[in-house]
Structures are given as C-alpha cells and as structure tokens.
Amino acid sequence: MKWPRGLDGLCFGGDYNPEQWPEEVWREDVALMRRAGVNLVSVGVFAWARLEPARGRYTFDWLDRVLDLLDAGGVKVALATPTASPPPWFSLAHPDALPVRADGTRLLHGSRDTYCASAPAYRQACRRIAGELARRYADHPAVALWHAHNEYGTVCHCDHAAAAFRGWLRARYRTLDALNDAWTTAFWSQHYTDWDHVFPPRATQYLPNPGQVLDFRRFWSDELLAAYVEQREVLRAAGPDVPVTTNYVFGDWVPVDHARWSQEVDLVAIDHYPSDPGAGAEEETAFAGDLARSWAGGRPWLLMESAPNLIYAGGRMHAKEPGRMARHSLSHVARGSRGAMFFQWRAPRGGAERFHSALVPHAGPDSRVYGEACLLGQALDRLSEVDTGAVEASVALAWDAASWWALQGPGLPWDGIDYLAEVRAAHRALWRAGITADFVSLGRGGPLPYQMLVLPAHYLMSDAEAAAVRAYVDGGGRLVATYLSGVADEHGRVRLGGYPGALRDVLGVRVEEFRPTPDGWTEEVELAGADAVLPGVTRHRFGAGTAWYVSRRLDGAAFGALLAEAAGVPVREGAAELELVRRRGRHASWLFALNHGTTDHAVAAEGTDVLTGKRVEGALDVPAGGWAVIREAG
C-alpha cells in the first residue's frame, strides 16, 4: 500500500464537484473546508462531459482553477478519471459501446455507467482521457492520489462482452473439453463444439447453466480489473510517485473479487453505506472495515466514501442521529482506515442524488451536520498518531467472492441461501462477543496465524483450498465450518460421496440430505468420527487441532458462545453497546472505545485520552453515543 502523496496523518474530506456550482461558490467551499479541517477531496469523478465536451476537445481550464484554489487552501486532491459516466456525445458516436442487458435491451445514457467495459471504443476513450489528465496534472502540487473510475461493477451482455468472455474462457480452460467438463454441459444437451457457440448467460427459456453464470461473474471481475489496470498504467506513466487506486463498491450484484483486485491497487479504498437504520449499521460498519483491512493485507486502507447523514434502508432515507457520523468514522479508523471520506462535500440542487446527504447540506453550513463535520475534522487531526498501528485480531473468517456468486446461481436447494448473510451472521456473532476478526482468502498466502478459522457457507472449495484448511487444523488450528461449506469444487460441481465433500474427513461427519426449512437450514448429520456437542453442532479432533461443524442456523447468542468457546476466548458482555478495538504500534497501542448505547459506560484503561490529552487511570467514562481513544504504553 502507498500513501497519498504529500499527505500526512489521517485523511478527511469527500467527493467535491465544483462543476455543479458557479465559481463564486468554490471560494466559499475552500473556506468551509479549511474551517472543517478537510485535507483531501476527490475531484472530477463524474466530470467527463465538462472536461471533454466533444471528442478530443478538452476544457481543463476550470479544473486548473479548482486545483489551484484547493492547493492554495491546503487541500489535497484525489484526482479522478471520469470514466464512470461517458458524456451523451460518446453514446451517440459509439452506440455499440452502450451496455446490453441479458434480455437484449440496450441501455441509453441519462444516468451513469452507460458503457460496456469490453467495448473497444470505450476502453480507448478511457485511456485517452486518463492520459490527458495524467499528463496535465501529475505534477500539480495538490494531486495526492489518482482515483481511477468509480465503483467498478458494471456488466454487459453484448457481442463485445461475448467476445471478451470467450477469450477469458479460452485462457482459463484452454480446451472446449475442459470447459464442457467444468460446466457439466452434458446436462440438457449444452455440449459446446465451437468456442463461438459460447455466449454470456443471455435470456433463455428456463434455468441457465450454473457454471456459465459463475464464470460470467468471474470474467467480469477480471475484465473490469483489466480496464482498471489499463488506466493505472496510463496514470503511472505520467508520474509514478502518485499512487493509484479505485473505490470499491459493495453489493449483492457486484461481480468483483476485491481480494484479487487488492493486488493491483496502491491503496485499498472502499465506499461504505450501511443499510440498517438500527444497531445493524454499527455491525455493518465493523464488517466493512474488517473486510477492507483484510483485503489490504492488514495494512492501512482508506474509507473513500461514506454518508454524513444518511442510512438508506427500504427505500427510505434515515438521517443519522447526532454523533453517529463520528462513531462510524472512528469505527473505520479503529479498523485501519487512513481517515474518513464522505460522499459528498456539498449537496447538489438537482440530479438523481440531490437528497443524498453531504457535509454541507442543503441547509448550508449553518447546520448540525456541518457542525459535526468540523468536530470530526478536529478529532481526526489529533488521531493521526494511530495511522500506522496494526489492528489486533486473533481469529479469522474466510471470505470467498466466488462462493457468494455460486450461491446466487440457479438450482440450489433453497433460494433463500444468502452467502453474505451467512458471513455477516458469523462476523456479527464475533462482534457481539467482543472479538475482532480478520478475513482471509483460503489458499492465498501461507499458514494462517489465527487461533480460530471460521468458514461460513464456503460453498466452493478447490482441492488446494481444502488442503489449506486440512493443514491448518492438522497443525493445531481450531476450525468452525458452517453448512454448505466444501460442498462443491471450484466449478460448482458437487463433490460426491456425501456432504460436505471436501471437508468430510476434517469434520468427521457425512451428510446425505439437506433439509432447508422455512426458517433456515438443517441437515441429517451422520457422525464419522466427530461427537455431537450441541443440537446441530459436532466437534472432531483432527491431527493436532479441532474442527466444529455447524449444520443448522444457530441464533446469534448461541453462535457467539460457540465461536468464543472454539476460539478459546471469553465472550465480552455488552460488546455491542461498547465497542472496543485496539491498534498496536511500535511504541504504543491505542484503544478505541465507541459507545453505541444510550447510557454512559466506563472503559477499563490506562494511558492518555488522545482527544483531551488527559491521563486515564484505571477507567475512562465514555458517554452515551460518544467515543474515546486511549493511548496505552506500547
């Protein structure tokens, strides 16, 4: 991971779109940024139409003025390539580059992301505008970071996509025999005899081929990554000392494997918008922060977008309660974020997201939100000392994007299977027990330095991944695997002989039948070496380690108790109200205490309150809704 150029300490700021405002507002913006302590803004994210109003005609003058103004105000810039929204003229010039749905509907401009990332014309236009920006601004003193594109995640089913998909499949399988085998095309007469007969999973009569559906998502992860890498190379060519990143979007539909992508970015950057107006938002925040840190290999990363005052839930915009913006930000920093960035700086008058929250809301700077932003800016400034501290986590959860995608495919035993919910349930149980967790990708990297490894619904499992799990337990590790783990190989083909195929020996169980119920999941488990320890839970000694199998959905408290016992650590009562996370540096550690409750809580601690500078001896009171960071002796 690289640091934004010229930026020390934690980042604070957000998406800044001066193109939405007359120039007189810009000056007020910079003054308000200074007042709030903003030190980094993302500029140009959707500015293509303003930067290149016609093919090859560039209008950079306004951007020059904006960057100079920001530089003069001491605000650094994450300069974006604007490629997430090609201008209307581009659509008209290249209708073949507009995206196509599975049913053949070609989408038109008028929103954002109306392109096919496999279309040559689009890729060429992206390289061109990225190159122009790079050459003009790589040396601008305000530019601290390149922000390529925005939230890669747009797929397409057009003929360009079909051709690219075929190329990807040839590289993956080399022969049609291998593809036919991986996809089990013998079922329903889908055997391919010519690469040109293979298509994206377009609208078809009935259930599509699950292997095709899975590989199509894998393909798009790699295809979009290739588009990113192209931009990165263009940007690096103009000035290699400015790091390059892109902001990850997270959602059910996203065909991007962030763990894989993280090998190609200079700094992992995520956007995070919780979706639960209640206490679930705090859990989601912890979950996202832990994932991001893990994608970053445990190193610092950056929260690139979050909402100052908005949780969008069930079609309704929930305003965050006073203090909640800060607690969410601190939760991310506690988990390794290099700061807290927001979408967006100033609420626009129009456009589809005019009611999205902003640091400067429609009401203007004379507002609660801007006031809280100023306090947060101050706090982040004081917290800069934590920046490189490592986050303490003794247990790990496996995260596998491909299992997620596979469990969204056709023909599963239950259409209520939700991989993300399964992983979140495991993370939540740990979080509520007061246990900070990392995420790992099985088989990527060496031995797993954790007291416990949890595999929630790790449906796909290659032989290599299974071997990694086996070696971990054999070497003394504690494994907790939940239902559906190990059932299929990496192509989604069921492993025979009884479930959970790849893990039968490690878990010491054999299952013939799944029994999904309206409430969740159960199985008829046959013991094959394991002992039944609880309803739906078995334990098996394997080598020097122990492996638990959870064959039914446990309620949160029971799951937490089981995980804590398996990990060999006690449950911390009240952890969901008073969240504690520790970062450890070379000479000191920092204890983050976030009080999400409605009553004050005392934290046992020795050290110094970083915000007030006061000595903490034995305990510190954290008021309801408040937070504190205590520097402890290293």
According to CB under 8 A, which residues from 391 to 420 bind a second copy? 410-416
Is residue 512 close enough to count as binding a second copy by CB under 8 A?
yes
Min dist CB 334 to a second copy, Å, is 27
Min dist CB 622 to a second copy, Å, is 26
Instruction: Enumerate residues 59-98 that contact a second copy by CB under 8 A.
Output: 82, 85-89, 91-92
**Three-state DSSP state, 516:** strand
- Up-side HSE of residue 621: CA atoms within 13 Å toward CB? 4
One symbol per residue from 13 to 52: x for binding a second copy (CB under 8 A), - otherwise; what is it?
----x-xx-------------------------xxxxx--
Nearest CA among 623, 31, 600, 610 for reference residue 378: 610
Min dist CB 596 to a second copy, Å, is 20
Min dist CB 194 to a second copy, Å, is 7
Is residue 309 close enough to count as binding a second copy by CB under 8 A?
yes
Instruction: Enumerate residues 420-449 that contact a second copy by CB under 8 A.
Output: none
DSSP per residue over 321-349, as a string?
A: PTTHHHHHHHHHHHTTEEEEEES-SB--S
Amino acid symbol at 511? V
Span near a second copy by CB under 8 A; candidates 34-42, 382-390, 488-496, 563-571: 488-496
The active-site residue, picked from 52, 305, 422, 523, is 305
Helical packing angle, 23-36 and 61-72, nearest 10°: 30
The active-site residue, picked from 52, 151, 422, 565, is 151
Virtual torsion, Cα 251, 252, 256, 262, nearest 10 deg:
50
| From candidates 27, 515, 541, 615, binder to a second copy by CB under 8 A | 515
Min dist CB 489 to a second copy, Å, is 8
What stretches of 415-557 adopt beta strand conformation (E)? 437-440, 452-455, 478-482, 509-517, 520-527, 531-534, 537-542, 545-550
Span near a second copy by CB under 8 A; candidates 188-196, 245-253, 278-286, 563-571: 188-196
Nearest CA among 36, 14, 627, 1 for reference residue 299: 1
User: Are 209 and 185 spatial neighbours (Cβ–Cβ below 8 Å)?
Assistant: yes
* CB-nearer residue toward a second copy: 375 or 533: 375
Q: Which residues pair with 569 in a beta bridge?
A: none
What stretches of 108-253 adopt beta strand conformation (E)? 143-147, 244-245, 247-248
Q: What is the CA radius of gyration of the chain?
A: 25
Virtual torsion, Cα 291, 297, 302, 303, nearest 10 deg:
0
The footprint of a second copy on this chain (CB under 8 A) covers a number of residues equal to 111
| From candidates 4, 14, 99, 477, binder to a second copy by CB under 8 A | 99
Q: Is 151 a catalytic residue?
A: yes
Amino acid symbol at 214? L
Instruction: Enumerate residues 105-124 that contact a second copy by CB under 8 A.
Output: 105-114
Min dist CB 583 to a second copy, Å, is 33
One symbol per residue from 126 to 165: x for binding a second copy (CB under 8 A), - otherwise; what is it?
----------------------------x-----------
Min dist CB 633 to a second copy, Å, is 43
Instruction: Enumerate residues 580-619 that contact a second copy by CB under 8 A.
Output: none
Distance between CA atoms of residues 544 and 345, nearest Å:
54
Is residue 500 close enough to count as binding a second copy by CB under 8 A?
no
Distance between CA atoms of residues 33 and 76, nearest Å:
11
Instruction: Enumerate residues 247-266 that contact a second copy by CB under 8 A.
Output: none
Instruction: Enumerate residues 194-213 that contact a second copy by CB under 8 A.
Output: 194, 196-199, 201-212
Distance between CA atoms of residues 578 and 599, nearest Å:
10
Q: Is 577 a catalytic residue?
A: no
Provide the annotated active-site residues. 151, 305
